[in-house]
Amino acid sequence: MKELEDRIRRDGRVLAGGILKVDDFLNVRIDPVLMDHIGKEFARLFEKDKVTMVLTIEASGIAPAYSTALALDVPLVFAKKARSANLGQGDVYSARVRSFTYGRDYDILVPSRFITSADRVLIIDDFLANGFAARGLNEIIHEAGAETAGVGVCIAKCFQPGMKLLEEECLHVEALAAIEAMDENGIVFREMKSGEEK
């Protein structure tokens, strides 16, 4: 998605350790017009996947997931993060996720009544790096007996293993901006296979 790539080039900041900061427009301050276009682009890319609901994790996944859910006219559910694993109530699905940013584990929780075995679930998130978050959500979808219709991420860091791991699970994965390499001199984007709306 050229609009997102251009914005990353203009306002993104590459930090040491493979970190890309996009908090000026994507995940702390949000440009609503860009986010609206992101949702419509995900809806176009997954329009043939019979999506019945969108699933994401709080907090930075919520805006792109909501904008996609609106464009697809399906409900959005967001998983909550919890530090303690004292659940065992049977009324939530949960998965253990490792945070790339904080280097520690946390649990993600979704009330079980919000996913049924009839659902085809589209996972949406802002970033795909090691794929921990998306794989945790995928686990919850399987736990519910539902199907994963696809995984859409605003930005994929293809030099980290997440993208490849999800594709190896035969999931339909789309990244609106797929970064091959980046350093202080610039960012190299991968050409997207699904093409872009004219």
Selected from 75, 99, 161, 169, the binder of a copy of itself by CB under 8 A is 75
58 lies in the binding site for a copy of itself (CB under 8 A) = yes
Binding marks (x or -) toward a copy of itself, 20..39, rule CB under 8 A?
Answer: ---x----xxxxxx-xx---
Selected from 70, 165, 187, 192, the binder of a copy of itself by CB under 8 A is 70
Alpha carbon 99 to its chain's center: 14
Rounded CA Rg of the chain: 16
Residue 69 CB burial class (10 angstroms; 0-12, 13-18, ≥19): buried
91 lies in the binding site for a copy of itself (CB under 8 A) = no
Question: Which tokens hold the place of 68?
Answer: 């996609």
d(CA 63, CA 36): 9
d(CA 25, CA 34): 8
Least separation in angstroms between residue 8's CB and a copy of itself is 17
59 φ, ψ (degrees, to nearest 5): -105, -35
Helix (H, G, I), strand (E, B) or coil at 193: coil
Least separation in angstroms between residue 161's CB and a copy of itself is 27
User: By CB under 8 A, what part of segment 111-150 binds a copy of itself?
Assistant: 111, 114
User: By CB under 8 A, what part of segment 151-170 binds a copy of itself?
Assistant: none
- Site residues for a copy of itself per CB under 8 A: 23, 28-33, 35-36, 58-59, 62-63, 66-67, 69-70, 73-78, 80, 111, 114
